[in-house]
Structures are given as C-alpha cells and as structure tokens.
C-alpha cells in the first residue's frame, strides 16, 4: 500500500512538472494579461474611464479601438520606448506642461517593478494600458494643447483637426517607432517663438531653482546719478534677469551709466516707458516673482499649441496684447507696424478670418453700440457734431434725412429708425483705407486720423476694430501687383476721394491672437495682460485633464465601442474561460448607425 501511494505521488509530481514548464507558465501569464486587458477595456468602453494604480484612464473610445485592432494583446513590446516615454513625460516640464498629467509617479513605480521582473500578468496588462493612456495624453497636448480654447472663448474659430492619418494608426506608429522621442517631437509648434519661449522657460526655471531674484523695497523714483541703498538690489536683479552684465563696481549705491542702460533694456522688454527712471511701474515689473513669469511663459506656450501646428506660408497676424501687426511670408515677417485695439470694455475678439478685399476712401456706418453709448449723448448736447464730423443721417434705402427734422432730445437708441454714416474725408474714423475679412464681429483693419495714439505704449483706444499704422505699405504688399497697384497708384486712387473696392488676387489668412510674451533676434518680451485673459488659461492649464476630441475624428470614435468590438471582447474572454458581456441588440444598433454614417 505504501509502495502504491508512493507511485501515485511520483506520477502527480511528474504531471505537475510537465504542466508547469516555462512555456505553460507563459501561457497562463498571457491568459492572465489578456483577461485583464479585456476586463479593463470592457469597463472603459462602458463607463468612459477606469482606475489603474490610482490613475484615471479616460479615453473611452480610442484606447479600446487600439487594443481591438491588436487582438486585445499587449502593444508595448519595445522596452526602449517605455523608457523614452517616461523621459518625455519628465521633460514635458520643458514644454510648459505638467508631468503628473501623464501618470508619472505610477509609471515610475510600475516600470521599476517590470524591469525587476516583479510584475504579475495583471500588472503587466495595467502597465500597458497606462503607458498607452500617457502617450495619448502627451501626444494630444503637444498637438492641440491641454486646454480647449473654445471652452474659454466661444468666439474661437481656429480648427482643431487631426492629421490625415487615422488616430489609432498614429498611436500604433508611435508605439512601434524606432525613436518615440523623435516621433513626438514632430508634434511641437513650428514657429521660432515657441523655441524662444522654451529656451527662456528653462532659464527662468533655473533662476527659480537658485532662489529667484530679490524683491526691491518701495521708495522715491530713482534716476541716473542718484545714490540709494536699493541700487545694490537692482543691480543684482538686473544681473539675474540677464539685462546687466556683471562687472566690478566701486560704488554699489550709485545709479551709473551702465545700470541706466540695463534699466532701459528691462523697460523695453516689459513694454514700459524707456526713460531710465525706476518709478512705480518699473519697480512693479521688477517685483513680479519669477514663478509668475514662468506661468506667463507657460500660458503663451499653450496658446502657441492652439495655433502654430499648421501655419500657412503667408498670413497677417494681429498681436492684440502686443499692439502689433505683422505680415508673414514663408513664415517670416516682411512687414510690421503698431496697431490700436479695443478698449477693455470693447475687446478686440480673438479669431481667424480671410482677408478678401480693400476699400479706398471708405464710408463709416456707425454701429448701434457706438451710436448709443458715444454719439447720441454728444448729439443731445451739440447737434452740430454731425456736420463737424462730415456725418449724414440715412434711412433704410440709403437716402439722406434732413437732420433739422430730428429732435435729438427725444431720440432713443431703441426706436431710432435711421443710421449715421460718415462720408470719406480727413475726419473719417476709418481713415483712407480699410482691410476687410468678413466676420460675425464686424471687425476689420483700417487707417485712422488718430495717429497720436500710435505713440502711446498702451494702445487700447478702439471699439474693437484694429487701427493700423502705415496702412498704405500693407495695402501695397497685400495687392502684390506692381503694374496695377504700385504705391503711387494707391495714393492716386485715394486722392480721388471716391470710394473704391479692390479685391485681392488671393485671400490671405488673418489671425487675431493674444500674446503676452514675444521675441525678436535680440530680446524676449513680457507684455501687459490688457484684457486679463492669462488667468483663466493658467487655471485650465493647471486643472484636471479633459479629453476634447479633434474636430474631424472618424465615425467609430463618436459611436464608441462597435458590435464587432464587443463580440471580440466576449470571444477573447470566453477563450480564456471568462464569460463574455451581453449587449448584442445595442451592438447591432451601433453597427447600423456606423453604416449609415459611412
């Protein structure tokens, strides 16, 4: 009996040794991974999110579709790409982004366990999913920005479109690429401003890491030749900010010539009066903490991701906060000029348009808001204002109305049946020319009789339209027709005093944008946030991740998990001894919707 028991025991041991070979263990681990993936994806498809290691995965259709196309198997096979992704996540700080948005801490822990060979099949599946979601988030943020500008500004009309490639194919190519870092770097904005922001961001982070710059106490205005105990702190500040070259100074409290030059440079870079005097405004700019400047750069890097991915070769850009216009050809500025923009109460909107035509000697029809708030109060006091400004009252048919028949004291903007129109001339609010890019805001570029406004640092004077300096230069460049529209011919057309419309040979994109930093070959600039828009962008940039899909996502994305996909999950789970999920009728309806959409 004892001998028989021993033989049975030996047989069991031998059988177990055959079953638990490395190959058999690998099969069990693979089944465990696949079961985990199928279960996770089933939940993700149904609820739109799953929790892995305390991290939310929220791409409810993209990730399931990616794994469906890969047979619900692991897709991260290159360990080098896993490490590259983690490095890219850590270096996302350099792009003004936040590594924690990409599951940084959890991935560090999980990758360490994976590299030590200490992960189970379930943990390996979770690592695969979390890597995929991190890649999706980072790629999405580099391409479009973390913040959807439409959530902040309903007037935003620039497109957020994916490339011609299928988004799942794009993710697959990234995961399988020889260099994931190189693959992702192609998503960053193309214009030089972004590179400059990235460079200065790194410099300012280094300054912050070394304790920042000193705060300068208040006191009387300092001018060249003055002696003050604060001068030593100002020297140190300007040295840290890069505006003053370090050198030995015998009198640390003397405001000398070298310091004056550094102050003027600082004032220029911060849109201040370049008078060399360290007064209240200059002192306030110096006392902005380095952390705030870092955030200012990050906000504008985010804005550039909204815009500078697919930039046309030729476009006209209006920098609202910088009060500047620039015409770009081959993505380089060929003309720049100052502009005047809307007041904080009549903001110039941010949007994109197409410049189609110019009007020489334009008339100006007074908008209802300006009539109500600006002109009607003047007319109640001085009816002669209309004649002084060369304005007429016209009816709906464009006929002139005798102003002597109007009792302005009794007029209300609500029941006034006429319009005010200003004829061409030296007092015309639009000057000699206007540049039209039809839009719902009735905003356009135009000349102005208020030339003195261009000499001001802060140029928020208009009611929303853009008053442009040196408009005839811009007209000549836009018309781009030396034979028919030379500068001399443009001036001759204006001299006739006749209103004339001239269409461009091709429409030119116009971008009305809002930048509170800028750069040229010599300097990096910080601009005032005249419309107080930076704060809401920063709050959203520092907020929770939210996936707003691009405008032209494929049909399957909008319908979520398709019937074939649900069946696939069920098949995979049943093949591993796990019961599949129900939902056939819902699946058939989804399939029918997809066929109809196609």
Query: Which domains are delineated in the chain?
Result: 33-188+543-597 (no CATH), 213-288 (1.10.101.10), 312-522 (2.40.440.10)
Above 60 in pLDDT, residue 8? no
Quick one: average pLDDT of 433-458? 96
584: left (phi over 0), alpha (psi -120 to 50) or beta: alpha
Predicted local confidence at residue 558, as pLDDT: 54
Q: How confident is the model at residue 571 (pLDDT cuts 50, 70, 90)?
A: low
| Distance (Å, whole) CA 574 – CA 590 | 23
Whether the pLDDT of residue 16 is over 60: the answer is no
Which pLDDT band, with edges at 50, 70 and 90, does 589 fall under?
very low
Least confident of 138-142, 248-252, 481-485: 248-252
- Residue 411, pLDDT above cutoff 70: yes
Over 559-571, what HEC string results?
A: HCCCHHHHHHHHH
| Residue 588 burial (10 A CB sphere; 0-12, 13-18, 19+) | exposed
Q: Mean pLDDT score of the chain, rounded to an integer? A: 87
DSSP 158: -
* Pairing mode, strands 315-319 and 324-329: antiparallel
Tokens 């465990």, residue? 32
Q: Which pLDDT does position 161 carry in this prediction?
A: 82
Task: Give the pLDDT of residue 312.
Answer: 87
Mean pLDDT of 551-576: 53
Q: Residue 537 is inside which H or E element, if any?
A: helix 534-541
310, pLDDT greater than 60 = yes
CA distance 341 to 345: 11
Task: Give the list of residues 6+ apart from residue 152 with CB closer than 8 angstroms, or none.
Answer: 536, 537, 540
The answer to whether 291 and 484 have CB atoms below 8 angstroms apart is no
Q: What percent of the chain has pLDDT over 90?
A: 72
Measured CA to CA in angstroms, residue 136 lies from 106, 128, 175, 280, 320 at distances of 16, 12, 10, 47, 33
Quote the tokens at residue 577: 């001894």
Q: Which residue do the tokens 């560090």 mark?
A: 108
What pLDDT sits at residue 561? Answer: 40
Contact 422, 364 (CB under 8 A): yes
pLDDT above 70 (res 552): yes
Whether the CA torsion 380, 384, 389, 393 is positive or negative: it is positive
Burial category of 192 from C-beta neighbours within 10 Å (exposed 0-12, middle 13-18, buried 19 and up): middle
What are the tens digits of pLDDT across the range 135-176?
A: 999 999 999 999 999 999 998 998 888 767 788 999 999 999
Q: Which residues pair with 328 in a beta bridge?
A: 315, 333
> Which tokens is 591 given?
């399939």
Least confident range of 27-36, 177-186, 411-420: 27-36
- Is residue 66 pLDDT above 60, yes or no? yes
Question: Helix H segments across 145-252?
Answer: 167-176, 180-185, 192-209, 230-241
DSSP letter (8 states) at residue 579? P
C-alpha 363/C-alpha 469 separation (Å) is 19
Above pLDDT 70, what percent of the chain?
87
What is the structure's pLDDT at 598? 35
Q: How far apart are the first and last CA of the chain?
A: 74
What is the pLDDT averaged over residues 576-593?
38
Residue 478's pLDDT is 98
Among residues 357, 367, 304, 298, the alpha carbon closest in space to that of 526 is found at 298
Q: How far is CA 575 from CA 22, 72, 569, 578, in A?
A: 21, 12, 10, 7
Sign of CA dihedral 206, 210, 212, 218: negative
Look at 150-159, 377-386, 471-480, 584-593 and tell me which has the smallest mean pLDDT.
584-593
Is residue 587 very low, low, confident or very high in pLDDT (cuts 50, 70, 90)?
A: very low
Question: Which H helix or E strand runs over 491?
Answer: helix 487-495
Give the Cα separation of 250 and 225 in Å (integer): 14
DSSP for residue 350: P
User: Looking at per-residue confidence, does 563 or 339 come out higher?
Assistant: 339
> What are the pLDDT digits (tens) for 112-126?
999 999 999 999 999
Query: Nearest CA to 514 among 370, 334, 366, 319?
Result: 319
Q: Average the pLDDT over 80-109 and give the result.
A: 97
pLDDT at 86 exceeding the cut of 80: yes
């Amino acid at each position: 009996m004892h001998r028989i028991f021993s033989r049975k025991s030996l047989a069991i041991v031998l059988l177990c040794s055959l079953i638990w070979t490395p190959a058999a263990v690998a099969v069990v681990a693979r089944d465990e991974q696949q079961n985990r993936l199928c279960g996770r994806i089933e939940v993700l498809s149904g609820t739109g999110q799953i929790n892995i290691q305390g991290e939310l995965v929220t791409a409810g259709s993209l990730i399931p579709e990616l794994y469906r196309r890969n047979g619900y198997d692991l897709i991260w096979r290159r360990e080098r790409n896993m490490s590259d992704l983690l490095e890219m996540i850590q270096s996302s700080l350099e792009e003004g982004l936040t590594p924690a948005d990409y599951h940084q801490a959890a991935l560090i822990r999980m990758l360490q366990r994976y590299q030590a060979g200490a992960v189970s099949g379930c943990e390996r599946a979770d690592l695969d999913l979390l890597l995929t979601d991190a890649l999706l988030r980072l790629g999405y943020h580099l391409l479009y920005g973390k913040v959807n500008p439409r959530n902040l500004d309903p007037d935003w009309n620039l497109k957020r479109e994916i490339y011609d490639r299928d988004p799942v194919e794009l993710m697959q190519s990234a995961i399988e690429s020889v260099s994931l870092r190189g693959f992702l770097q192609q998503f960053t904005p193309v214009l030089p401003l972004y590179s400059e922001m990235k460079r200065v961001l790194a410099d300012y982070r280094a300054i912050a890491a070394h304790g920042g710059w000193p705060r300068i106490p208040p006191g009387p205005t300092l001018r060249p030749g003055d002696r003050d105990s604060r001068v030593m702190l100002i020297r140190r500040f300007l040295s840290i900010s890069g505006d003053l070259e370090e050198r030995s100074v015998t009198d640390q409290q003397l405001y000398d010539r070298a310091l004056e030059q550094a102050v003027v440079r600082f004032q220029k870079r911060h849109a201040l009066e370049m008078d060399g005097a360290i007064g209240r405004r200059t002192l306030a700019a110096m006392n902005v903490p380095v952390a705030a400047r870092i955030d200012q750069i990050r906000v504008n890097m985010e804005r550039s991701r909204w815009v500078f991915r697919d930039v046309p070769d030729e476009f006209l850009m209006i920098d609202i906060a910088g009060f500047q216009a620039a015409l770009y050809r081959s993505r380089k500025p060929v003309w720049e000029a100052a502009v005047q923009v809307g007041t904080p109460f009549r903001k110039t909107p941010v949007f994109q348009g197409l410049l189609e035509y110019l009007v020489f000697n334009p008339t100006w029809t007074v908008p209802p808001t300006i009539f109500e708030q600006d002109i009607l109060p003047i007319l109640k006091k001085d009816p002669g204002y209309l004649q002084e400004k060369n304005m007429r009252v016209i009816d709906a048919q464009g006929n002139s109305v005798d102003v002597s028949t109007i009792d302005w004291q009794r007029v209300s903007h609500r029941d006034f049946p006429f319009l005010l129109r200003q004829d061409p001339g030296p007092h015309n609010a639009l000057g000699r020319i206007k540049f039209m890019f039809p839009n719902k805001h009735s905003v356009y570029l135009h000349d102005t009789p208020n030339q003195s406004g261009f000499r001001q640092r802060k140029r928020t004077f208009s009611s929303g339209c853009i008053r442009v300096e040196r408009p005839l230069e811009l007209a000549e460049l836009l018309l781009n027709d030396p034979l028919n529209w030379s500068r001399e011919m443009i001036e001759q057309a204006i001299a006739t005093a006749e209103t004339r419309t001239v269409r461009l040979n091709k429409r030119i994109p116009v971008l009305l944008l809002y930048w509170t930093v800028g750069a040229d070959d010599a300097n990096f600039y910080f601009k005032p946030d005249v419309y107080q828009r930076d704060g809401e962008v920063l709050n959203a940039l520092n907020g929770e991740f939210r996936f707003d899909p691009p405008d032209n996502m494929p049909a399957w994305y909008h319908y979520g998990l398709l019937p074939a996909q649900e069946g696939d999950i069920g098949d995979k789970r049943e093949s591993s001894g796990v019961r599949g999920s129900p939902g056939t009728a819902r699946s058939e309806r989804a399939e029918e919707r997809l066929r109809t959409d196609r």
